Amino acid sequence: MTDPRVIRAKAELRRALAEQRAAGATVGLVPTMGSLHEGHLSLIRAARERCDTVVMSLFVNPAQFGAGEDFDAYPRDEERDVRLTGEAGADLVYAPAAGDVYPEGFATYVAPEGQLAEVLEGEPTGRGAEHFRGVATVVAKLLNTVTPDTVFFGQKDAQQALLIKRMVADLDFPVEVVVVPTVREADGVAMSSRNRYLSQDERIRAAALWRALEAVQAAARDDVPPDEALGAGRRTLAEAGIEPEYLEARYADDLRPATTFNGRPVLVAVAARVGRARLIDNVVIGAGAPGTR
**What is the predicted pLDDT for the residue at 1?**
60
**What is the predicted pLDDT for the residue at 288?**
56
- CA dihedral sign of residues 80, 38, 25, 146: negative
Residue segments in the chain with a per-residue pLDDT below the cut of 50: 290-293
**DSSP per position, 265-291:** -EEEEEEEEETTEEEEEEEEESTTPPP
**What is the predicted pLDDT for the residue at 293?**
35
Query: 40 catalytic, yes or no?
Result: yes
**pTM as predicted:** 0.94
- What one-letter code names the amino acid at 230? L
Count other C-beta atoms under 10 Å from residue 156's C-beta.
22
Give me the catalytic one of 7, 27, 33, 40.
40
Q: Residues 101-127: pLDDT tens digits?
A: 999 999 999 999 999 999 999 998 878
Residues 6+ apart with CB under 8 A from 253: 162, 264, 265
**What is the predicted pLDDT for the residue at 287?**
60
**What is the predicted pLDDT for the residue at 53?**
97
**What is the predicted pLDDT for the residue at 75?**
83
Burial class (CB in 10 A: 0-12, 13-18, 19+), 289: middle
Domains and CATH numbers, the chain: 5-180 (3.40.50.620), 193-285 (3.30.1300.10)
* Proportion of the chain in helix, strand, coil states, percent, rounded to 5: 45, 20, 40
